[in-house]
Structure 1
Amino acid sequence: MDASIYIFRAYFSLPPNWQSKSGYDTEAVYGFTNFLLDLRIGQPSHVAVCFDESLETGFRHRIYPEYKSSRALPDEALGFQLLMCQEVAAALGFSIFSSTEYEADDLIGSLLTSLHADLEPVAILSRDKDLSQLLLREQDYLWDYAANIRGFRPDVAEKFGVWPEQLVDYLALVGDASDDIPGVPGVGKKTAATLLANGRALSYWQLNPIELACVNVRGAKQLAAKISAYAEQISLAQRLAKIVCDIPLVASATALELKPMDIDLAQALFEQLGIKNLNKKLMRAHKLGSE
């Protein structure tokens, strides 16, 4: 699970009707906790909840300081809620992962890659298009759980015109405004999809620039010069867009099995955070998990 998607969905959609004993609003914690309880009631066998803690400290920021620079950093009040979301998730028996070096996407990619042999299918709970590059198996899918929308490999190809394994090259060409990753000027989505059609990689065109003039897109004769001029930027964009999949996190899928909930701790947190009205759902989830 990409925790940030669901935390911020609650933060921006719910009114500040809940408050902690320390005086902080807790609408994001409330919405995220409600979501986690729904997930537990559904009784999945294995879950990893991945959090972002590398908002300024990750390796991508070191190689490109402008990375995600247009996004406002959490203030103290939101920072409190983000921390409490981790504590609640742990109390509810979920395995949690975070890093100051890697993003949640990298943690998800590394877990998925290391556990391919043990788990299938695997659902990636998120709406983030970047995670689509991890859909290398037919059975895995990107799942917007709250909206119950599932996206498989063919859905990625239909949406972007490229397959998941080509998404990094695609973003290196068109850029990604949401992450402040620059693209090649004058290369749009249609041109990028055409260049990568039939499974071709961007590296093919970099090694065979003379063939670019024959591609059936507007401005084809200028493509070779553009791709050559922006070769260094393309390489940087590929490093920024590519999800890291080799972080050693767990030895086996057993580490992701749902654990018994710490009811006493959960209820204490609910009391502290002003979300006691979730206790009924908490007990329902606990009862189902004990059967």
Structure 2
Amino acid sequence: MLYLLDASIFLFRGWFALPDSITTAAGEPANAFRGFATTLVDLLPETGGQPLLICFDESLSSSFRNEIDPDYKANRELPPPELECQFRWARTLSEALGLPVLASDYFEADDLMASAARLARDQALPITLISRDKDLAQLLRPGDYFWEGPGKAARDRDAVAERFGFPPERMADYLALVGDPVDNIPGVPGIGAKTAARLFSLYSDLDALYADLDGLLEHGLRGAARLRERLQAHREVAFRARALTRLRDDAPLPFDALPPRGPVDPSALNELDRLVGLGRANRRKLGLAHA
């Protein structure tokens, strides 16, 4: 099993959920880092020593998707400096724990996870995606799992399909119709979640749907004629949206085979704890001397 951690999700969760009173010895905000650290430390025993890759976003305004659509994620503010430094600390923690780190200024973390997943499949390894980002569901195949992190139950591909109402590998096509406001991706006006899920329970992907627009009238869909008109009128929007939501698995990786976990560096952990603070519970779980 290959475990793939979407680091940004857990950093932002800590940033918004944990109090500002969590600071470094110098008084700098450390709540995002603390939330990430707690998640990562709790993951270590639950992943049983299997390969675990930590994937970071460094392409917040420079990914290949900005070349497809300059307005991609234009609604998002860049992280403030006090959050940027916490991303660096999270990377330092991951490396001190002997965990390989992936980051790119051209590919997003999701694409890095997709590329590592491709490598795992080449080695006949299933994957577990550790995230709360539904976009990643498109990577799931039989034998894979989607896991929202410690304390949550991992869901297999079939459970995810039941939740969404369509096979998870069709997620990019689904988002091409409904859009994704979080990433400033418009969809086809008038097509909501239920209609899109119904369509991709009938069609294998966006290409198959557009190849059979006349056939929509034969499936008993409410308002099929109007639906066909909307799809025809917004074809370009839908295919551009899919180009933005579909994950790429061709990101260059710094290895040809999945790397095992490296040795833990207690000295680096103690130094990071001294500068930033890991928290008493995390120090104890890591077996640091001054826990």
Match of 1:288 in 2: none
Q: Which residue of 257, 260, 264 maps to 2:263?
A: 260
Taking only the aligned residue pairs, the percentage that are identical comes to: 37
Aligned-partner SS, 2:34:
helix
TM-score, with length taken from structure 2: 0.90
Q: Is the 8 A contact 1:267 1:276 kept in 2?
A: no
What is the one-letter code of the residue matched to 2:140? L
Q: Is the 8 A contact 1:213 1:223 kept in 2?
A: no
- How far did 1:16 drift? 2.5
What is the one-letter code of the residue matched to 1:274? G
Q: Distance in 1 between matches of 2:157 and 2:123?
A: 20
Aligned-partner SS, 1:115:
helix
- Matched residues, number: 282
Q: Distance in 1 between matches of 2:94 and 2:216?
A: 51
Show structure 2 runs of 5+ residues with no match: none
| 1:232 and 2:236 correspond | yes
Q: CA RMSD in A?
A: 1.9
Match of 2:56 in 1: 51
Match of 2:211 in 1: 207
Aligned-partner SS, 1:123:
strand
Q: Distance in 2 between matches of 1:160 and 1:45?
A: 29
- How far did 1:199 drift? 4.5
- How far did 1:221 drift? 0.8
Q: Which residue of 30, 38, 41 maps to 1:34?
A: 38
Q: Is the 8 A contact 1:173 1:234 kept in 2?
A: yes
Match of 1:272 in 2: 275
Show structure 1 runs of 5+ residues with no match: 286-291
Q: Which residue of 119, 123, 129 maps to 1:124?
A: 129
- How far did 1:94 drift? 0.7
1:54-133 equivalence runs, <5 A: 54-118=59-123, 120-133=125-138
Q: Distance in 1 between matches of 2:16 and 2:25?
A: 22
TM-score, with length taken from structure 1: 0.90
Q: Distance in 1 between matches of 2:119 and 2:154?
A: 22
Q: Is the 8 A contact 2:39 2:149 kept in 1?
A: no
Question: For each residue in 1:151-203, what CA deviation from the matched residue of structure 2 results, as whole angstroms up to 9, or x when unmatched?
Answer: 22212221222102211111111112222211111112222222222443221
Cα gap change, 1:240/1:20 in structure 2, threshold over 3 Å: closer, same or farther?
same
Q: Distance in 2 between matches of 1:279 and 1:201?
A: 48
Match of 1:191 in 2: 195
- How far did 1:234 drift? 1.0
Of residues 27-36 and 200-209 in structure 1, the stretch that sits farther from structure 2 once superposed is: 200-209
- How far did 1:206 drift? 1.6
Aligned-partner SS, 1:142:
strand
Q: Is the 8 A contact 1:51 1:98 kept in 2?
A: yes
Question: For each residue in 1:50-97, what CA deviation from the matched residue of structure 2 results, as whole angstroms up to 9, or x when unmatched?
Answer: 001111111112221222223222101111111111111111111001
Q: Which residue of 98, 121, 144 maps to 1:140?
A: 144
Q: Distance in 2 between matches of 1:142 and 1:127?
A: 9
Q: Which residue of 155, 176, 180 maps to 2:180?
A: 176
Aligned-partner SS, 2:129:
strand
What is the one-letter code of the residue matched to 2:190? G
